Chain A
Amino acid sequence: MLRRAWRKALALCQLSLANMLEYRAEIYLWVLASALPLILLGVWSRAAEGGAFPLTRVDFIRYFISVFLVRQFSFIWVIWEFEELVVSGNLSQMLLQPLNPIWRFLSSHLMERVVRLPLVAGVVALCFALYPEALWLPRAGDLLRAVGLLGLAFIARFFLQYMMSMLSFWSERAAAIEELWFVVHLFLSGLIAPLDVYPESVRRVTELTPFPYLIYHPVNLLLGRPVPFTRAALVLAGWGLGALVLQRLLWKRGLERYSAMGV
């Protein structure tokens, strides 16, 4: 059984990688289009020179380079793909095979990371060339914990968005929910500004949401700053698991509504 599962995973990953390599130019454009943290890097590092902030100029530079890096590995697009599949009826092809479609989406997301890796490395190297004073290497332990947290953040984010994708069975524009999510994510995850600059009361509220665990905490781990690792891991696992349970329920209900239009 394990051998069969491994063969399926390998075949799916090989197919996804080959497919993603065909779209490498588009993926590289996505990487460049997600350079918002690098723009904010310039803004915040300049602001830090003249204001009283809890982070220094170099801290800000390192923070936003890390945000850029973390975001590259937690970016999820499954809702757009799933919505298109439901609206066009192309989901039918997947439903006809004895394999849950989630594995196809998961493998394509994972292999897309592999394809974007060289350009991401290049952009980070360019940042360090522009800001040599910000060059640093995370401690091995921190790096390991950050990778672990980033993996959990990816899984939680994937399941959360996949759960929201199920709304495509009820609405033709389910992806609009993701756009609303993104606005909140922008402010509460630490993407637009480190949570350190927010008032304490706002920070306490953000800790009740999954957002800071997706960006802010993994970034802080890379920077060697104190992070409630166990709590962060449990929160991400909890959100991921909750989303998965809800997704299963919505999937079952949604399939009863699915009309396989366009077929």
Chain B
Amino acid sequence: MSAIRVRGLSKSYRVAVKQPGLRGALRHLFQREQREIHAVRAVDFEIQPGEMVGFLGANGAGKTTTLKMLTGLIRPSSGHASVAGQVPFERKRAFLQDITLVMGQKQQLIWDLPALDSLAVNAAVYEIPAHEARTRIAELAEMLGITGQLSQAVRKLSLGERMKCELLAALLHRPRILLLDEPTLGLDVNAQEAVRRFLREYNQRYSATVLLTSHYMADIVALCPRVLLIHEGQLMYDGSLSGLVERFAPYRELRLELAQPLELSELQRFGEVETLDGLSAVLIVERSLLMSTVARVLSELKPRDLAVSEPPVERVVGKLFMAGSLAAQPPPAAPPDVTAGGPPC
């Protein structure tokens, strides 16, 4: 049985539209205009027990709305979701015992008290025997490297330590399904890596299913062999991360070590120039033209060294979201302008 099964899941909202200024305010008072927002549109997917899946999409694409439906926080407008064999919105005890939702920008721990105080309540709420709770807290704290921090007031912890404590609180009841919304948001590189390491270990130790959204592609690359890509509420892709790059970024990077300095215009004859720094240059070349371009570069420029590589995933995804090119199906034939870069989600 699938850990998560979603069929035709949709969510629409009606939002009030108000024009700016006094005139708009007065008009809004007597004649309310409303607009229908289709946040999620007929999404289908299945996730098997123990899978780690990345959930990608630009801001407002429908990721968080989907997670809210999967955790039973909001009711779908139509369609069906089954999580841990339960209907989320019914929020039955067995369902809530099996899932957790970690939100990077939200906290459940009480700000002014040590995390241990909040954990004691969580243990009671989830009916974990006291001795078992102590064992779990010790085990998770060791995995997260926060054994010494649990007795300090939460407000006195660093952002990374606080996030780790939040993870501990969210996992104390040992849920089988983890829904993680930006769990590394705002953390420094070391803390991000520690959280990733922990999630991987938790997944392996407890065969937990993980659905993860992240602003940092490094999280997805490190943890999720499979990704779901959502755009304007519609699921655009469900498959491997490498397949995503193949499908949406049909180009390669050509890294050159030049024999002599060249003008930009001379290099632009072979493809789009991503960088040119002295004798080092990176060209973006359409995959279908790769062999002929390499041959031309070798014969005409005679570089000291040449290497072909895939573009970094984060740049590909970031560019897809920035350009809004996901709406076009099939994906664009011309290589996107990756020089613009930009945030991945």
Specify which of A4, A15, A95, A259 is in contact with B72 (CB 8 Å cutoff). A95
The total of interchain contacts (Cβ-Cβ below 8 angstroms) comes to: 74
Write out, one digit per residue, whether chain A residues 1-23 have a CB within 8 A of any chain B CB (1) or not (0).
00010011011101100110011
Specify which of A7, A18, A97, A258 is in contact with B74 (CB 8 Å cutoff). A258
**Which chain B residues border A258 with CB–CB below 8 Å?**
73-74
Nearest chain A CB to B133's CB is how many angstroms away?
A: 10
Nearest chain A CB to B232's CB is how many angstroms away?
A: 19
**Which chain A residues border B74 with CB–CB below 8 Å?**
258-260
Q: Name the residue in A7, A90, A92, A263 with the highest tally of chain B Cβ atoms < 10 Å from its Cβ.
A: A263
9-residue interface stretch from B98-106, B298-306, B319-327: B98-106
CB of A98 within 8 Å of the partner chain:
yes
Nearest chain A CB to B48's CB is how many angstroms away?
A: 23
Q: Given that A18-B113, A19-B113, A256-B75 are known contacts, is A92 also in contact with B100, CB under 8 Å in the complex?
A: no
**Which chain A residues border B121 with CB–CB below 8 Å?**
11-12, 15
CB of A180 within 8 Å of the partner chain:
no
CB of B194 within 8 Å of the partner chain:
no
Write out, one digit per residue, whether chain A residues 88-112 have a CB within 8 A of any chain B CB (1) or not (0).
0110110111110000000000000
Q: 8 Å CB contacts to B: which residues of A204-263?
A: 255-256, 258-260, 262-263
Nearest chain B CB to A10's CB is how many angstroms away?
A: 8
A19–B125 CB distance below 8 A? no
Give bound CA distance, A7 to B121, whole Å. Answer: 9
Give bound CA distance, A19 to B113, whole Å. Answer: 7
Nearest chain A CB to B163's CB is how many angstroms away?
A: 15
Residue ID in chain A nearest B129 by CB atoms: A7
Q: 8 Å CB contacts to A: which residues of B104-120?
A: 106-108, 110, 112-113, 117-118, 120
Specify which of A14, A90, A98, A262 is in contact with B120 (CB 8 Å cutoff). A14
Give bound CA distance, A12 to B113, whole Å. Answer: 13
Residue ID in chain B nearest A94 by CB atoms: B108
Residue ID in chain A nearest B97 by CB atoms: A98
B96–A263 CB distance below 8 A? no
B118–A15 CB distance below 8 A? yes
Give bound CA distance, A255 to B73, whole Å. Answer: 8
B96–A97 CB distance below 8 A? yes
Q: Given that A97-B96, A263-B103 are known contacts, is A15 also in contact with B73, CB under 8 Å in the complex?
A: no
CB of B214 within 8 Å of the partner chain:
no
**Which chain B residues border A97 with CB–CB below 8 Å?**
96, 122, 125-126
| Residue tally, chain B, CB below 8 Å to A | 33
Give bound CA distance, A93 to B73, whole Å. Answer: 9
A8–B93 CB distance below 8 A? no
Specify which of B75, B106, B126 is in contact with A263 (CB 8 Å cutoff). B106
A263–B68 CB distance below 8 A? yes
Q: Name the residue in B99, B100, B107, B120 with the highest tally of chain A Cβ atoms < 10 Å from its Cβ.
A: B120
Residue ID in chain B nearest A258 by CB atoms: B74
Nearest chain A CB to B136's CB is how many angstroms away?
A: 16
**Which chain A residues border B126 with CB–CB below 8 Å?**
97-98
**Which chain A residues border B93 with CB–CB below 8 Å?**
98
Write out, one digit per residue, whether chain A residues 60-96 have a CB within 8 A of any chain B CB (1) or not (0).
0000000000000000000000000000011011011
CB of B333 within 8 Å of the partner chain:
no
Residue ID in chain B nearest A11 by CB atoms: B124
Q: Given that A11-B123, A19-B112 are known contacts, is A98 also in contact with B68, CB under 8 Å in the complex?
A: no
**Which chain B residues border A99 with CB–CB below 8 Å?**
125
Give bound CA distance, A256 to B97, whole Å. Answer: 21
CB of B184 within 8 Å of the partner chain:
no
Specify which of A7, A10, A95 is in contact with B73 (CB 8 Å cutoff). A95
Q: Name the residue in A14, A18, A98, A259 with the highest tally of chain B Cβ atoms < 10 Å from its Cβ.
A: A98
Residue ID in chain B nearest A89 by CB atoms: B106
B72–A18 CB distance below 8 A? no
Q: Given that A15-B118, A92-B106 are known contacts, is A260 also in contact with B113, CB under 8 Å in the complex?
A: no
Chain A residues close to B by CB (< 8 Å): 4, 7-8, 10-12, 14-15, 18-19, 22-23, 89-90, 92-93, 95-99, 255-256, 258-260, 262-263
Q: What would 15 more interface pairs be, CB under 8 Å, given A93-B107, A95-B73? A: A11-B124, A14-B117, A15-B117, A15-B120, A22-B112, A95-B91, A96-B99, A96-B100, A96-B101, A97-B96, A97-B122, A97-B126, A256-B75, A260-B73, A260-B74
25 contacting pairs across A/B (C-beta < 8 A): A14-B120, A15-B121, A18-B113, A19-B110, A22-B112, A90-B106, A92-B68, A92-B73, A92-B101, A92-B103, A93-B108, A95-B72, A95-B73, A96-B73, A96-B96, A96-B100, A97-B122, A97-B126, A98-B96, A98-B97, A256-B75, A258-B74, A262-B106, A263-B73, A263-B181
Q: Sorted from nearest, which 5 A-B pairs have the closest CB atoms?
A: A11-B124, A22-B112, A98-B96, A260-B73, A93-B108
Chain B residues close to A by CB (< 8 Å): 13, 64, 68, 71-75, 91, 93, 96-97, 99-101, 103, 106-108, 110, 112-113, 117-118, 120-127, 181
